Structure 1
Amino acid sequence: MELFFLFLLIVIMAGALGSGYPVAFALPGAAIITIGLAAGAGYVMTGSTDVYFHSGGPNQWLSAGVTNLRGVYWEVERDTLIAIPLFIFMGIMLQRSKIAEDLLVTMARLFGPVPGGLGISVVFVGALLAATTGIVGATVVAMGLISLPAMLRNNYSQSLATGTIAASGTLGQIIPPSIVLIILADQLASATDQAGTARKILHKEATGELSMPSMFDVVSTSAGEMFLGAFIPGMVLVGLYMLYILFYAILRPNNAPAVHYDGAYNLDFLKNVLITLVPPLALIFMVLGSIIAGIATVNQAGAIGAAGAMIMAGYRLPKPGKTLYYPALLAIAALFLVGYALSNFEMNIKGITDSTDRLGITLGVIATIMLLVALGWSCWRIFKIEDTLAGVMLETAKTTSLVFIILLGAAMLTAAFRAFGGEELVREFLLGLPGGFWTQFVIVMLVIFILGFFLDFIEIAVVVVPIVAPILLADPEANITAVWLGVMIGLNIQTSFLTPPFGFALFYLRGVAPAIVKTVQMYKGVIAFILLQLTALAIVGAYPPLVNYLPNRVSFLSETSPPPRNPRLQLCLEEYVGQRLSQSTETQDAIVAARALDLSILPEDLAGDLTDSLDTADNAIAELEAAFDAAGQVEAAADDYRPQLRLVRGLEKKIRSRTEEIDKLKVRIGRMRDESQASARTVLEGNVATLSSEVEHLREQIPESWTGAHDTFIELTNAENSARTKYRRAADSAYEDSLEVLEVLDATADFAAMESQLRALKATVQNMPEAEAEDLASELSKAFGKIDGAGDVKSALSKAAKALKAKEPDRAEAMEAYEDAVAEFDSQMAWRAKADAKLRPQLATYLDVIRGSLGIRVQDRFTREQALAMASCSARHRDISLNF
């Protein structure tokens, strides 16, 4: 019956959507109606409202739906949704200010002489509008009204012209800032938590260990990372569009002829191009650049975009005049003033200490006032001219409400889907597919592609992603990142605007296209671009660094970069160090040179520490080579081991599934105590017996050789892990022990500066009252304690202070301890002076050389070179299934 009500849920939802019923009410309505019917049927048939639910009852699942609804608004982690109305406002404002029209006309003149130039200009403008407005409907309509007549007038093929316009208009779905990327980031954040829990359970069941190493955790994503991850794939898609149009024009010049500009390419033309292009590009730079540079969050970047759109509309909408550009120029001056103040002053009001600080704060206040005046001035112009501001705000409210109501409805639908075991059904189906992760992934992508024929991108994102994303993210074989999965789904969802029968971009274009353009030609035109989108999907799927590299690069170069000791980075770190050691003998040569140093200058303990450190450095290099050898043995054995692992883990999953079903049936049987339920109880007992026999049959399919093969492979992986652990400890010790010796030598100047205070303490101990002498001796002891290597002097002075502090102060004992401190001081000064001159520079050079290899883990943060290497290495997906 659970399957029946699950089917009923889908039928009610599909029927409501197909009949044109509003999505905002169709999704939660289908959920509530189905849960109510299941509860009512259960009460009538068995006397229990819970019987037809996968687990729990109607109250629980309705409460879960309400909790999901509240989560959309009240969860702190989901604050990125605030960016949605800001970016919508920015997009509508730029569309109303006719920026698109200016761009299209100017780019058409610039690219016209190139074969297929008009089509290329449409793609270029579509990409710019995608990075500024991100609203598909507005972009398609604007380009359809302006470009389509020009393309048809210049003998462009109807199918090419309409396909180019429709496809270019959809770029706003993948090129940031994109509403769909924000929604996907929000959905993936919760999906990541579920995937992490599932992976920990999988690791525990596979290994028996209670805790899973943090390096195997599933990492979440954010809207900012989604923007960064989608940027390069978006450019790849733009490049594919342009190349297709160019080759089409070369092969069929009559269908996409070059269009020569009648005017002159002079200074006035260049001025017009700059005025048209620079403001949108500057806005893109401020919005995306502030996110990439870590200056602003996605929400703050949305506010920057909204303010920039108002500034641009403030000079585009009014009629030309002397004061037309004054608000924009005032805003630019304010931004330059802010930049100057931030670069040259400490902009902290609470930290004002002198006139320089006050000057910086004053400049900041002046710049803020200037920016507010510019915004207010532009806002007043927009408000007065055709009531544009009110219209934009109304459209923003409508669009934002639509997005959020669909999110709320999808939360209810997801709860109902899980109530009837839909999530378990999907999981069992995907996990039961042969071929592992990639089969599951292709099936999911195919389902999303097919759903795009019928559903809107928001509906797909909020209904499908919460169900399938946890399953895909939890799989350790592919070990994909959430940002890569989000971008892949975003690219796939983009096709929903072009695929009939509900391709919205086609509807928008049909509404503004002249009657001479046939609908059939429009459908023909988008086929090539749908194939190009699928090609981009395949390219990004085959090469994940296209998505992962840029977010990683920004993360590793930021102030909040993960430290080198981060467990997830250790394999990449060792790969980087191994490459450095193999490409250059610099580290090995530095160790040899350090061994040639005259350590007889140092005290025996420090000389021994430094010698041991050099021995450990040699040992670390050997252990790294041993780790690579062990890793090679694991990789060689994996080819034979992996098929067995997949077979056995697959059988174990089926056994667990059957066992869980048996446990649920036994619970239901235990509740059937009435004699009237005897026949139903018998049926369930038969089901238990059948499932139990299936479990035994599955266990018999596990190869007898499995235990031995598993134990042998575990020995190999343990050997690799042991070698890596030994290397890490040896490398850290090699650097840190040498560094401690250098820190002692670096402290020589501070040590010598204490001489006068130490000599003066003698008279204090001899003549001053014991209490005062004890205080001064204690203070001096603490001062020496802060100097590296001065521990023996500190200890002697502490003994002197204790002798003076005793119930019966003993000046003689105090003087004896003081003399010991002086003797130790003189002894140290003798060898410190020699070591500082002859040993310290060479030791500092040695540590500088090995800091980038053996000492990389003990750095506070990565250097730029190291950060880029880590970004590149961690951008690849690493199979960790052999650890499960």
Structure 2
Amino acid sequence: MLGACHPGTPALSEWMPLLLFLAVILTLMLGYPVALSLGGTALAFALIGGLFGVFEPVFLEALPNRIFGIMTNETLIAVPLFVFMGVMLERSRVAESLLETMAMLFGPLRGGLGLSVTLVGMLLAASTGIVGATVVTMGLLSLPVMMRRNYSPSLAAGTICASGTLGQIIPPSIVLVLLGDVISSAYQQAQLDQGVWSPDTVSVGDLFVGALIPGLMLVAFYMLYIIGVAVLRPAAAPAIPREERALSGVALLVRVLAVLVPPLVLVVAVLGSILAGMATPTEAAAVGALGAMVLAATRGRLNLGILNQVVQQTALMTSMVFLIFIGATIFSLVFRGFGGDDVVSAFLTELPGGVVGAVALVMLVLFLLGFILDFIEITFVVVPIVGPILLAMGLDPIWLGVMIAINLQTSFLTPPFGFSLFYLRGVAPPEIKTSAIYRGVIPFILIQLCVLVILAVWPALVTWLPRTLYGS
């Protein structure tokens, strides 16, 4: 550690990494912009550390090369392309058609509306991956219908919020794209720290494939929970009476095919090309962006006005992500300059239980940070610190990436700052109390934690499919 180079101030050098991390958390909680909080706080601490002789400015000399590497990273080009694809599909009102059709299909069943919302959430996750748009759209369209059908307010709110977050784990997911780049860098750093080097790395495609089975498990468990509520508490999830269902029989089948086929073709084109090894995630994202425009055009929802809105929103979201990435890079360099990586490594490796104890603690910290931080901050700030340490302990990088992704998914649901809760609260009618929304998401949070435990006990649920397809 750097403290060893400055015998006069060993205590200060050891405390600086912790103080830096706490200062960033406090700055974020005060509401300052994320990217400026990360970069600004880190630079301020670097200046203070330089004045006290516990920080060497040489660590910041790597900053220009790091920023250049971010801007020229071909993998990260997938971010604006997938964002464009998701926003364009949201503007084409695919969700509206899917919700109406699925409600007619599952309406005869108790809990059918809840099952419809879950399935539509899965389809939107596989085609858009934008949590905010999904939750708001389903909240506007399905929540009033569920309330008219006397659904339990907490069950309705929880189902909408949880289904909207499936875009965090079901590919193509922006979280997996960002995590893929971070985990790949962490894997290379772990090799360098161990004094070894291998050309093997972790791609975004590996994480996409590894997340398929866990994502489908979440959907299945959500649906089982809704069915269980419908069986045990029929009044909380009633069926739709026959006279209120507009279509049935052949007419309903034709409607289902007409609504489902176009987005499914798009999903197959994007994910299928990745799984078959025909395209990289970035190339598949380009296919998805073009396919979304074609789908919008076939629905009469493509014009210069809509295209202008989509491009502007894509530029705003992409700029936000890349600015946060740059701020997090500054934070990471300063944190390592204070010897913070050595402090964290020593702490995790000395925990009782070895690698199991280290993973359990990291997952707990990520879960708790999800109460107050967004997934982007956690991905760019925390994962680069703990990732190399955990991977150096021999963990599979694909398994670790998927575990972190599912854990980060809970950050959208955990009260009081879960973004899905805010999105739904913004469009929910006044009679839906905030307490009902909080109660509704708790069972789904527990389901996600159960899935985490299952994947920890049987990691092959994550690693089997990538190894089968790619031999990795």
Amino acid of the residue matched to residue 241 of structure 2?
H
| Match in the other structure for 1:609 | none
* 1:411-560 map, 5 Å: 411-475=329-393, 479-556=394-471
Pick from 39, 54, 65: which aligns with 1:52?
54
Deviation of 1:128 (Å): 0.2
Deviation of 1:87 (Å): 0.4
* Residues 682-733 of structure 1, C-alpha deviations (whole Å, 9 max, x = no match): xxxxxxxxxxxxxxxxxxxxxxxxxxxxxxxxxxxxxxxxxxxxxxxxxxxx
* Residues 493-536 of structure 1, C-alpha deviations (whole Å, 9 max, x = no match): 00000012210000000000000000001000000000001111
In 1, the alpha carbon distance for the partners of 2:240 and 2:341 equals 55
Pick from 54, 61, 69: which aligns with 2:59?
61
Amino acid of the residue matched to residue 145 of structure 2?
A
Amino acid of the residue matched to residue 172 of structure 1?
G
Pick from 300, 307, 328: which aligns with 2:283?
300
* 1:320-399 map, 5 Å: 382-384=302-304, 387-399=305-317
Amino acid of the residue matched to residue 508 of structure 1?
Y
SS of the residue corresponding to residue 254 of structure 1 reads helix
| Match in the other structure for 1:188 | 183
Pick from 149, 162, 165: which aligns with 1:167?
162
CA spacing shift, 1:426–1:123, aligned 2, 3 Å: same
| Match in the other structure for 1:152 | 147
Q: Is the 8 A contact 2:209 2:275 kept in 1?
A: yes
Q: Is the 8 A contact 1:66 1:412 kept in 2?
A: no
SS of the residue corresponding to residue 234 of structure 2 reads coil
Deviation of 1:9 (Å): 1.8
Amino acid of the residue matched to residue 36 of structure 1?
L
Deviation of 1:219 (Å): 4.7
Q: Is the 8 A contact 1:224 1:298 kept in 2?
A: yes
Instruction: Tell me whether 1:18 sits opposite 2:29 in the alignment.
Output: yes
Q: Give the unaligned 5+ runs of structure 1.
A: 43-50, 202-213, 319-381, 557-873, 875-884
In 2, the alpha carbon distance for the partners of 1:95 and 1:132 equals 10
* Residues 584-604 of structure 1, C-alpha deviations (whole Å, 9 max, x = no match): xxxxxxxxxxxxxxxxxxxxx
| Match in the other structure for 1:34 | 45
Deviation of 1:133 (Å): 0.4
Deviation of 1:24 (Å): 1.5
Q: Give the unaligned 5+ runs of structure 2.
A: 1-11
SS of the residue corresponding to residue 93 of structure 1 reads helix
Deviation of 1:190 (Å): 1.2
Pick from 324, 333, 350: which aligns with 1:406?
324
Amino acid of the residue matched to residue 61 of structure 2?
S
SS of the residue corresponding to residue 303 of structure 2 reads helix
For CA contacts below 8 A with separation 6 or more, give which structure has more relative contact order.
Answer: 2
SS of the residue corresponding to residue 110 of structure 2 reads coil
| Match in the other structure for 1:197 | 192
TM-score, normalised relative to structure 2: 0.94
Pick from 63, 70, 73: which aligns with 2:71?
73
In 2, the alpha carbon distance for the partners of 1:34 and 1:317 equals 54
CA spacing shift, 1:547–1:7, aligned 2, 3 Å: closer
| Match in the other structure for 1:118 | 113
Q: Is the 8 A contact 2:127 2:172 kept in 1?
A: yes
Q: Is the 8 A contact 2:348 2:358 kept in 1?
A: yes
Deviation of 1:218 (Å): 9.6
> RMSD between aligned alpha carbons?
1.5
* Residues 793-848 of structure 1, C-alpha deviations (whole Å, 9 max, x = no match): xxxxxxxxxxxxxxxxxxxxxxxxxxxxxxxxxxxxxxxxxxxxxxxxxxxxxxxx
Deviation of 1:422 (Å): 1.1
In 1, the alpha carbon distance for the partners of 2:206 and 2:387 equals 17
Instruction: Tell me whether 1:139 sits opposite 2:134 in the alignment.
Output: yes
Q: Is the 8 A contact 2:366 2:408 kept in 1?
A: yes
CA spacing shift, 1:85–1:404, aligned 2, 3 Å: same
Q: Is the 8 A contact 1:218 1:481 kept in 2?
A: no
TM-score, normalised relative to structure 1: 0.51
In 1, the alpha carbon distance for the partners of 2:187 and 2:16 equals 28
Q: Is the 8 A contact 2:149 2:240 kept in 1?
A: yes
In 2, the alpha carbon distance for the partners of 1:411 and 1:392 equals 28
Deviation of 1:264 (Å): 4.0
Q: Is the 8 A contact 2:105 2:252 kept in 1?
A: no
CA spacing shift, 1:198–1:3, aligned 2, 3 Å: closer
In 2, the alpha carbon distance for the partners of 1:398 and 1:266 equals 45
| Match in the other structure for 2:4 | none
In 2, the alpha carbon distance for the partners of 1:147 and 1:187 equals 36
* Residues 459-506 of structure 1, C-alpha deviations (whole Å, 9 max, x = no match): 11111111111111111xxx3221110000000000000012210000
Q: Is the 8 A contact 1:188 1:220 kept in 2?
A: no
Q: Is the 8 A contact 2:176 2:405 kept in 1?
A: yes
CA spacing shift, 1:218–1:456, aligned 2, 3 Å: farther
Amino acid of the residue matched to residue 538 of structure 1?
V
Pick from 79, 83, 106: which aligns with 1:84?
79
In 2, the alpha carbon distance for the partners of 1:182 and 1:508 equals 23
Rg comparison, structure with higher value = 1
Amino acid of the residue matched to residue 258 of structure 2?
I
In 1, the alpha carbon distance for the partners of 2:241 and 2:284 equals 40
Q: Is the 8 A contact 2:175 2:405 kept in 1?
A: yes
* Residues 552-582 of structure 1, C-alpha deviations (whole Å, 9 max, x = no match): 12214xxxxxxxxxxxxxxxxxxxxxxxxxx
* Residues 126-162 of structure 1, C-alpha deviations (whole Å, 9 max, x = no match): 0000000000000000000001001111111011000
Pick from 233, 238, 255: which aligns with 2:214?
233
* 1:693-842 map, 5 Å: none
Amino acid of the residue matched to residue 253 of structure 2?
L
Amino acid of the residue matched to residue 65 of structure 2?
T
| Match in the other structure for 2:260 | 277
In 2, the alpha carbon distance for the partners of 1:430 and 1:15 equals 24
* 1:601-750 map, 5 Å: none
Instruction: Tell me whether 1:102 sits opposite 2:97 in the alignment.
Output: yes
* Residues 722-776 of structure 1, C-alpha deviations (whole Å, 9 max, x = no match): xxxxxxxxxxxxxxxxxxxxxxxxxxxxxxxxxxxxxxxxxxxxxxxxxxxxxxx
Deviation of 1:243 (Å): 0.3
Amino acid of the residue matched to residue 303 of structure 2?
F
Instruction: Tell me whether 1:244 sits opposite 2:225 in the alignment.
Output: yes
Q: Is the 8 A contact 1:449 1:496 kept in 2?
A: yes
In 2, the alpha carbon distance for the partners of 1:10 and 1:555 equals 38
In 2, the alpha carbon distance for the partners of 1:535 and 1:69 equals 38
In 2, the alpha carbon distance for the partners of 1:543 and 1:12 equals 38
In 2, the alpha carbon distance for the partners of 1:259 and 1:194 equals 56
In 1, the alpha carbon distance for the partners of 2:225 and 2:200 equals 37
SS of the residue corresponding to residue 156 of structure 1 reads coil
Deviation of 1:114 (Å): 1.5
In 1, the alpha carbon distance for the partners of 2:200 and 2:221 equals 31
Amino acid of the residue matched to residue 154 of structure 1?
R
* Residues 271-292 of structure 1, C-alpha deviations (whole Å, 9 max, x = no match): 1111110001111011000111
| Match in the other structure for 1:619 | none
